Each structure stands twice: as C-alpha cells, then as structure tokens.
A and B are shown apart, each in its own frame.
Chain A
C-alpha cells in the first residue's frame, strides 16, 4: 500500500483485495460484540478536513477512526480556502504541526488532496475531490457487491446517471476494472465526458437495453441544477429515460442488486419503491462504508494490534 489513498488508481488488485479482506475481518471481529471498538490506532490522530458539506461521509470516517481508538479532530472549512483567507497550504502546515497522522480530505476542487499530500508527512485520504474521485465510496461499493453476490470477477455493473460530474463513477470505473468486473455506463450523451471512450467501460444511452444484462445497477445522484445548464430538458424527461422505477427493475436478472451512493433524489433517478425494495443495498452500503474506512485507516496507518488474528 502507498502512503496515501488519493485515487482508486493507486490500488492494484492486491491492494484492493487486501482492503476488502481486511474490512471483512473487521466485520467478523466485531460481530456480536457489545463494545464495537478496537485498540488498533490508540494514540494516533485522524483529522477530518472537510471543505465541503458532507455529513454522511464525515460521520462515517469519524466513527471508523473512533472505533479504531484514534483521536479524531473535525476541521470544517466550508467554502473555498481562499475565500476563508487561509490557504490550503497553510491549513495543511497547521495540521501537520499538530501531529496529524492521517488527513481525510473532502474538497470541491479536483486534485486538492494531491496538493495536500505534497505538503504533509501524514497519510492523506481522499474523501471526495470535486468531480474527480471518491475512492472509499468505490471500495465500499465493491465490498457491498462482493458480500451480496459473492464475487467481483466478471460481475456486470451498470452505472447510470451524471457520469460527467460524478467522482463516484470515476472511482468505481477504475476500481471495478481492477477487480475484474465489467462496467457499463448509461447516461444521456451530455452527461458523459469527452474522452470516456478511453475508459475501461462500455457506454450506452439506452437503459432498457442494458438492464437485462446487469448484475448490479448503480444509480448516481443527478442534481437538478444540471437541467438549467441544458444537460437535459427537464426532470420529468430525465426520469422517464434514465430513472429506475419498478417496471424497469423488473427487467433485471433475479439476483441483481440496486445501489445508490446517496443522498437519493427519490422520484428522479430512483423510485421510492425501488430504493426500498429487497434488491436495494442502499442501507448496507452505509454500514459497509464504516468497515471499509476502518480497513483503509488501519492499513494506511499501519496499526499493529489487531486482536484475535482479526487481520493476518
């Protein structure tokens, strides 16, 4: 493993598999325990540096660090660092001086965690940067698929929605390819990036044609403001062409699962009855996120005291 987790591309098959296996071991170790806490990162400091609102991801990382007994600091610097007056570099040096062992960074600017990694000694974990990547989301998605379907190799994953602006899609395409899955992207052409043909994924504009061949459907959040920039004409038209409703869900193979990274726009990209169906893994994704983030923190910070052979 490298020192940082900035992109899903930082992980080769061995690294990615190690993280998923570690998450599984953590789940096993904690299953049925009353006190869900491991002493592994006692005395280590994890900083959640969030320049963008994201309660879900921040809480997930916070709980993951706390369950590993790390000291956790939440540093919310909403808005751009420039408008706040302090630069990202000065913030980085401040955290460095406080002895942060890991910085979990969420930022609206693509590449901000890469810059951070140049200025600090500790590990930097990308918790979502602009429209670039969100590697721990992809890891928890892969973990969820593996738990539900028992494998990742040759699993057919369809990712639907605003691929152009989605860091979730970017990380998933890279990681799922590494893990041997077959990815198909479905979106209106306006919401696919120029250059997508170079990605290790098939591309389709036709959701109905793809669904019968999907083991996994991952719906992306679509922001309504994209409509104002003419990426699509209306919410209704988007929902009709690219939304997952009960009728479409019925065309999936029997074992197929439905995923969503949250937060959902119920009624837009995903119908309520789909989100709440037995195929849906949306709530599991949240709890799996905790295990995967514990695994990432543990592996990056080189914790040495996993109990009971929980980690090899």
Chain B
C-alpha cells in the first residue's frame, strides 16, 4: 500500500460542492485544499468532476463458487470498480452455499486476490438456504472474512420462530439479518407483480402483500427481541410505510432499494422479455414514486444493486423458465442520478449517504463510507455528471449480459475509482 504512488486530484468538487485539490497518499486523504502542489505525485486533472466516497453495495451476487459461467469474484469486482464501488457484499446463494466459514473465507480470499474492491461475504442464515436450521453464524463471524451480514437472499426466512432465533443469535457479534421478504405461500409460481398487467398478460401474480406481510412481522420480531434487522430490496409503497412507522417507533431496522426498482415498472414485462424478470418483481409507477420518496426522506437507507448475473441461456427462454435477476453494478450510479439527482430528490451529498455512508455503516465496513476529509481512507469515486451515454450490453465488464438498461440513455459516468489510494479505474477503464 505504501509502495503505490501518491495521487494529486486537481480541481474536483467533493459532493458537487466547491472545487478543491485532494492528495491521496499512504492509503488516506493526506491533504485537502486549494492549489496543492506535491512533487512526485501523479496528477489527475479532475476539473468538472464530482468526488464521492467510494460506493458500497450491500447486495451483490458474484456467483462464485458454482456459476462461474455467469460471473466470478474477479469479473464482478471489475464491474463493481467500474461502477464506482470500493466495497461489495457478496450474497450467500452460491453453490456450495456460503453457510460455513470455509466458503466465506474462500470468497473473501478471491476478493483480495482480485484486488479491485473489498469483497465482504454475506453468510447464509440457514444451512443450505433451506430455512430449517441455523448455519454456523458465529464461525463465519469469527473467520478472517469477519462476516457481519447474514442473509438467505433469494429465499425468505419464512419460519417466524427461526427468524426470531436468528435475530437474537447474531446479537452476540453485532451481526444483522438481511431478510428477503417474500411470503412463500403467497408467491407460489409467481412471475410478476400482481395487478392490472399480470391479469392481462396471464402471468401468475406476486402480490405486494407477500412482501409487506413479512416486513411487518419482522419489524415486530426485531422490536420484541431488540435486534437489528435489515430488509433487502424494498419494492412496494406499502413496505415504505411499514418501515417509516417502525423507524418512528424506534425499531432498529434498516432497508435498501435497488436501482431498477427506482426506475423501471411492470410495464417492462409487456413483451415477455425475461431481462425484466426479477425478484421482487418490477412494480407500478406509484410504487416507484413511493420508493424514491422513501429514499429521499431517509426511510430507505441505501441503494443496493442486487446485481444478479445470469448465463445467456437462463434468460433467452420462456418467461416462466427464466431465472430472476438483472445486472446492476455498472449502471447503479447512473440510474440513481437519473432517478434521484436529476429529479431533485437528492443532492450529491444525499446520494453519497445512500450509496456509501449508510451501506458501509450497515455492513460495518469501517474503512468505507467515510467523509471526504483529511485522514479518511482514500476510497473514492470521481464522476463526470455531464455526460449521457447509451448503455451497450456488449461493453459490460460483467461476464453476464443481462442488463435491463441496454439501449437506454443514462446520465453520469464513473471516471475514476480509488481503493485505499490506488486507482482501480482511471479514465473509465479498470486498472487490473
């Protein structure tokens, strides 16, 4: 770390505010001010660019081990860096499932070897995501991977007694359960949001209440046992209401929303293209508005990508047979700018809070999400807010191609990403 050269970033606007120079040295922001001049430092002219702390994703599927044809820790890390991320949480639904210290250590080690972002493995709550007995959560917490977030994501911890035990048990090491809220009986065979469009398209409905019922139950459980709860990928206005009430009541609950739920609606399903099949499903325009409002007022803590790479054959098929999920890492920032900044719902400081500061806090990643000030770790992203570009799926660094944004024009571009003072992305290109 000390061997990497110092970087002098000239004329950058932290959080879109007044331009300054930043000196990154020895892995931290060493100096900050106007007209810095440092001999021997690499100079990056960042005039017009905006700086934010490096983005932190609470919800990434890296697919390794098991589906390396869709993504690997390395390709996913590159996609993350290009998207402005300096840390990602790797979800546990791999094959084998990340339900032991051995698997989380492997993922953590692969992340270190790739060296593009910090990969924080998420541990499974239950053995094999089967929802019947607790995985060895303590062993995963004590491993070098230092797991603090546990989730059966993709599957809901539906058994209320098991959910209660999980919430209680992780208090011993200050862990948090991240729930995929989906009542299984109400979503059997579900294919898309249940409403006017599912009725017309003849696709089995995934009702909003199946999400909201689990969230309501879980905030009550968390309050009862005094535990932390995190709710994954909120998708309905009703969920926002339940969380607002829970937070007002002092329940220790946090939650996230995906970029796609901030931009896309169930109208996308009309052509039966499985690129738009995702779980939870795309909802209505009213839900999108409620989610944006919830993110703006802080009811929703974080934007989390739910980056879900899939092999081509798992998407080039009939809707009902396709796997749910869409790519997100490389376009998350642009989508967030489109949905939140250009609409005036959040300023850049607010965006940094939801994409870096709070997710880092929820995931307990101390080196990330720190303010852009002297002494902070030099994890940051430089953004050109003024460019607009059309997304080309062929250009993605991810091994998979299942982006829902292909051919869409989106604003803002990640120019550079620094991980502990070392550039992982420069001029929009990955450095490894």
CA gap between A196 and B203 in the complex, in Å: 13
Q: Which residues of B contact A170 (CB under 8 A)?
A: 200, 202
Check A114/B271 contact, CB under 8 A, given A82-B317, A194-B194, A198-B196: yes
Question: Smallest CB–CB gap between A118 and chain B, Å?
Answer: 8
* Interface 1/0 per residue, B164-181 and A, CB below 8 Å: 000000000000000000
Q: Which residue of B lies closest to A229 (CB)?
A: B188
CB pair B321 A82 closer than 8 Å: yes
Question: Smallest CB–CB gap between A29 and chain B, Å?
Answer: 36
CA gap between A101 and B207 in the complex, in Å: 40
CB pair B318 A195 closer than 8 Å: no
Q: A residues near B, CB below 8 A?
A: 80-82, 87-89, 107-112, 114-115, 129-133, 167, 170, 193-196, 198-199
CA gap between A80 and B198 in the complex, in Å: 22
Task: State the interface size on chain B (CB cutoff 8 A).
Answer: 24
* Interface 1/0 per residue, B196-226 and A, CB below 8 Å: 1111111111010000000000000000000
Q: Which residue of A lies closest to B203 (CB)?
A: A110
Q: B residues near A, CB below 8 A?
A: 191, 194-205, 207, 271-273, 313, 316-321
Check A130/B317 contact, CB under 8 A, given A114-B271, A195-B197, A195-B199: no
CB pair B201 A109 closer than 8 Å: no
CB pair B316 A130 closer than 8 Å: no
Check A87/B195 contact, CB under 8 A, given A131-B202, A170-B200, A194-B207: no
Q: Which residue of A lies closest to B269 (CB)?
A: A111
Q: Which residue of B lies closest to A119 (CB)?
A: B316
Q: Which residues of A contact B203 (CB under 8 A)?
A: 110-111, 130-132
- Cβ contact of A132, chosen from B195, B202, B207, B313, cutoff 8 A: B202
Check A110/B272 contact, CB under 8 A, given A81-B317, A81-B318, A87-B313: yes
- Cβ contact of B199, chosen from A112, A114, A133, A194, cutoff 8 A: A194
CA gap between A111 and B203 in the complex, in Å: 9
26 examples of A-B residue contacts, CB within 8 angstroms: A82-B321, A87-B317, A88-B317, A109-B318, A109-B319, A109-B320, A110-B202, A110-B320, A111-B203, A111-B318, A111-B320, A112-B319, A115-B272, A115-B317, A130-B202, A131-B202, A131-B203, A132-B203, A167-B202, A194-B205, A194-B207, A195-B195, A195-B196, A195-B197, A196-B199, A199-B199
CB pair B318 A115 closer than 8 Å: yes
CB pair B319 A80 closer than 8 Å: no
Question: Smallest CB–CB gap between A164 and chain B, Å?
Answer: 8
CA gap between A111 and B198 in the complex, in Å: 12
CA gap between A133 and B202 in the complex, in Å: 8
CB pair B202 A129 closer than 8 Å: yes
- Cβ contact of A194, chosen from B198, B201, B313, cutoff 8 A: B198
Question: Smallest CB–CB gap between B40 and chain A, Å?
Answer: 57
CA gap between A58 and B204 in the complex, in Å: 26
Q: Which residues of A contact B194 (CB under 8 A)?
A: 194-195
CA gap between A112 and B199 in the complex, in Å: 17
CB pair A107 B199 closer than 8 Å: no
Q: Which residues of A contact B317 (CB under 8 A)?
A: 81-82, 87-89, 115
Q: Apart from A110-B320, A130-B202, what 5 extra A-B contacts exist at CB < 8 Å? A: A109-B319, A111-B320, A114-B271, A115-B272, A194-B207
CA gap between A198 and B338 in the complex, in Å: 31
Q: Which residues of B contact A132 (CB under 8 A)?
A: 201-203
CB pair B198 A193 closer than 8 Å: yes
CA gap between A107 and B321 in the complex, in Å: 12
CA gap between A195 and B272 in the complex, in Å: 19
CA gap between A291 and B318 in the complex, in Å: 30
Q: Which residues of A contact B207 (CB under 8 A)?
A: 194
Question: Smallest CB–CB gap between B208 and chain A, Å?
Answer: 10
Q: Which residue of B lies closest to A194 (CB)?
A: B194
CA gap between A230 and B409 in the complex, in Å: 47
Q: List 10 A-B pairs, minimum CB-CB distance, nearest first.
A: A111-B272, A132-B202, A195-B199, A193-B199, A109-B318, A195-B196, A131-B202, A110-B202, A109-B320, A198-B196
Q: Which residues of A contact B201 (CB under 8 A)?
A: 110-111, 132
Question: Smallest CB–CB gap between B393 and chain A, Å?
Answer: 16
Q: Which residue of B lies closest to A193 (CB)?
A: B199
Q: Which residue of B lies closest to A87 (CB)?
A: B317
Q: Which residue of A lies closest to B321 (CB)?
A: A82
CB pair B319 A111 closer than 8 Å: yes
Q: Which residues of A contact B273 (CB under 8 A)?
A: 115
Q: Which residues of B contact A82 (CB under 8 A)?
A: 317, 321
CA gap between A129 and B272 in the complex, in Å: 12
CA gap between A87 and B311 in the complex, in Å: 14
CB pair B318 A194 closer than 8 Å: no
CA gap between A196 and B196 in the complex, in Å: 7
CA gap between A77 and B200 in the complex, in Å: 26
CA gap between A29 and B304 in the complex, in Å: 65
Q: Which residues of A contact B191 (CB under 8 A)?
A: 110
CA gap between A117 and B87 in the complex, in Å: 42
Q: Which residues of B contact A114 (CB under 8 A)?
A: 271-272
- Cβ contact of B318, chosen from A112, A133, A167, A199, cutoff 8 A: A112
CA gap between A199 and B199 in the complex, in Å: 9
Question: Smallest CB–CB gap between A30 and chain B, Å?
Answer: 34
CA gap between A124 and B195 in the complex, in Å: 28
Q: Which residues of B contact A107 (CB under 8 A)?
A: 318
CA gap between A194 and B207 in the complex, in Å: 9
Q: Which residues of B contact A88 (CB under 8 A)?
A: 317-318
Q: Which residues of B contact A193 (CB under 8 A)?
A: 198-199, 205
CA gap between A75 and B348 in the complex, in Å: 58
Q: Which residues of B contact A80 (CB under 8 A)?
A: 318, 321
Q: Which residues of A contact B205 (CB under 8 A)?
A: 193-194
Q: Which residues of A contact B318 (CB under 8 A)?
A: 80-81, 88, 107, 109, 111-112, 115
Q: Which of A80, A111, A112, A132 has the most CB of B within 10 A?
A: A111
Q: Which residues of A contact B196 (CB under 8 A)?
A: 195, 198
Question: Smallest CB–CB gap between B395 and chain A, Å?
Answer: 22
Check A195/B200 contact, CB under 8 A, given A114-B271, A115-B272: yes
Question: Smallest CB–CB gap between A112 and chain B, Å?
Answer: 5
- Cβ contact of B198, chosen from A109, A133, A167, A195, cutoff 8 A: A195
Question: Smallest CB–CB gap between B279 and chain A, Å?
Answer: 17
Q: Which residues of A contact B320 (CB under 8 A)?
A: 108-111, 130
CA gap between A80 and B319 in the complex, in Å: 12
